[in-house]
């Protein structure tokens, strides 16, 4: 997998493929940042200008650039040619791109945190990705009170103090990915959703409020640790019998497939996860 200059799509995006791209944004050089800025549309550039801190502006620009470049890996359009709309909730949607087969069917999601960005694309309807940093200054009690279920709070309290922060960030990242996958964002009823992370590496989601989706098989989840202090979660609505082929890669080392630390459904092994050239 490599960035191309001819913008011909080199990879096939099958109906069950769900590629996730991650990028470490620390130390990105100014030329790279300028190149990324050039792929953004005027609205994105105007939003980028409004960030108070240059690092937040950098991460915003690189997240939107990463999404554009990711889409261009799978469809014959240059990164700057993709057109997005934004729903009132904030959810980004790809606008119909004339002449791009399947372009408009793609669901997209992106995330930025200090020093890291991520995105996911798929021929899915409900898709969310989130990346967060494990930071000791996080107020675990406050966020748990607002966004965690009582079962999640109890599970956190059962952990040794040394394990609590990491687990908290895993839950938080999953919740954000879920909030984006539903499209509800900030208005999602997060305490009504319980993620269960068992010691054997399994991962489950149960929703209290929606009878139609109470089965944990309705959503497929995968959790990655692209770096020791980062967690990346993907949440996608299960569409058929086969699980989504979620394959996460590092933009800086595209041949490297990131191994998940937890999954709700089996993922392809590293061999099967290789990109399929057309
Ligand atoms: C906006 C929200 C969806 C995620 O925000 P976040 O994790 O702070 O920020 P991220 O960088 O990961 O994601 C922001 C991106 O999500 C996307 N997004 C925003 N609203 C969205 C929605 N309703 N649905 C899907 N995607 C959405 C956008 O692409 C946005 O980036 P952009 O503005 O640059 O286009 C929302 O859930 C939020 O702000 N949550 C924080 C509140 C909270 O209680 N957190 C604790 C949860 S445990």
Successive 10-residue mean pLDDT values, the chain, 278 residues: 51 89 96 97 97 97 97 90 93 76 77 98 94 92 92 94 94 97 92 92 83 64 96 94 95 94 88 46
Q: In whole angstroms, give the CA distance from residue 66 to residue 230.
A: 18
Residue bearing the CA closest to ligand 1, atom 38: 186
Question: Of all protein residues, whose CA lies closest to atom 1 belonging to ligand 1?
Answer: 185
Q: Which two tokens stand for residue 85?
A: 């709309």
Contact residues for 27 (Cβ-Cβ < 8 A; gap 6+): none
- pLDDT of 5 reads 39
Question: Could you give the count of Cα atoms lying within 13 Å of 214 in the half-sphere of its Cβ?
Answer: 5
CA angle 269, 270, 276 (to 5 degrees): 105
Q: Give the count of beta carbons closer than 10 Å to the beta carbon of residue 139.
A: 8
- Ligand 1 interacting residues, C-beta cut-off 6 A: 60, 89-92, 109-112, 130, 143, 146-147, 172, 175-176, 179-180, 183-186, 190
Which residue has the CA at smallest separation from atom 48 of ligand 1? Answer: 172
Positive or negative: CA dihedral 208, 214, 216, 222: negative
Separation of alpha carbons 179 and 213, rounded Å: 15
Please report which residue ranges of 183-263 form alpha helices under DSSP H.
none
Hey, which of 110, 114, 119, 120 would you mutate to test ligand 1's pocket, going by the most ligand atoms within 8 Å of its Cβ? 110
Q: pTM for this one?
A: 0.91
Q: What is the pLDDT of residue 111?
A: 98
Q: How far apart are CA 7 and CA 155, in angstroms?
A: 48
Nearest CA to ligand 1 atom 12: 111
> Strand 230-237 to strand 203-207: parallel, antiparallel, or no bridges (unpaired)?
unpaired
User: Which residue is closest in CA terms to ligand 1's atom 13?
Assistant: 111
Of 10, 116, 124, the closest CA to residue 55 belongs to: 116
């Amino acid at each position: 997998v490599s960035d191309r200059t001819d913008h011909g799509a080199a990879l096939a995006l099958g109906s069950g493929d769900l590629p996730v791209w991650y990028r470490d944004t620390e130390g990105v050089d100014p030329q790279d940042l300028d190149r990324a800025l050039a792929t953004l549309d005027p609205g994105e550039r105007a939003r980028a200008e409004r960030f108070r801190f240059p690092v937040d502006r950098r991460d915003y620009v690189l997240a939107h650039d990463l999404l554009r470049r990711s889409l261009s890996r799978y469809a014959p359009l240059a990164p700057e040619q993709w057109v997005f709309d934004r729903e009132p909730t904030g959810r980004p949607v790809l606008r119909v791109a004339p002449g791009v087969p399947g372009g408009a069917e793609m669901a997209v999601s992106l995330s930025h945190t200090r020093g890291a960005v991520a995105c996911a694309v798929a021929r899915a309807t409900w898709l969310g990705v989130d990346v967060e940093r494990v930071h000791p200054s996080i107020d675990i009690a406050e966020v748990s009170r607002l966004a965690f279920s009582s079962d999640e709070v109890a599970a956190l309290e059962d952990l040794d103090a040394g394990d609590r922060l990491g687990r908290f960030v895993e839950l938080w990242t999953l919740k954000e990915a879920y909030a984006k996958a539903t499209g509800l964002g900030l208005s999602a009823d997060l305490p009504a959703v319980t993620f269960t992370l068992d010691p054997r590496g399994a991962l489950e989601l149960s929703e209290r409020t929606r009878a139609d989706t109470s089965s944990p098989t309705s959503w497929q989840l995968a959790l990655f640790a692209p770096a020791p202090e980062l967690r990346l979660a993907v949440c996608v609505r299960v569409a058929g019998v086969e699980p989504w082929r979620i394959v996460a890669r590092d933009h800086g080392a595209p041949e490297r497939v990131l191994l998940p630390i937890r999954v709700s459904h089996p993922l392809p092994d590293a061999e099967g996860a290789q990109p399929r050239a057309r």
